[in-house]
């Protein structure tokens, strides 16, 4: 097993269903305990752009 595995965690923030957009965060961690990057993006609520936004987040960092 590699000694420094990298893990990307993504989660959305609070939103109301009447909102047009919601914020979500991506955190890149190198195990066991080093945070490499934090990125915030927005996504359409109930939209179909989440995969595209996540890909943009990964490529830009």
In the DSSP assignment, the letter for residue 59 is H
pLDDT in tens, the chain (61 residues): 677 899 999 999 999 889 999 999 999 999 888 999 999 999 999 888 899 999 988 888 6
Angstrom distance (rounded) from CA 58 to CA 61: 5
Residue 27's beta-bridge partner residues?
Answer: 9, 38
Angstrom distance (rounded) from CA 44 to CA 47: 5
- Give me the residue label for tokens 């047009």: 20
Tokens coding 6 = 């990298």
Boundaries of every domain in the chain: 6-60
Angstrom distance (rounded) from CA 26 to CA 24: 7
- pTM for the structure as a whole: 0.74
């Amino acid at each position: 097993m590699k000694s420094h595995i990298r893990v990307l965690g993504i989660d959305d923030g609070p939103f109301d269903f009447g909102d047009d957009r919601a914020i979500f965060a991506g955190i890149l961690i190198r195990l066991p305990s080093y945070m490499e990057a934090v990125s915030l993006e927005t996504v359409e609520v109930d939209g179909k752009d989440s995969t595209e936004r996540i890909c943009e987040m990964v490529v830009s960092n």
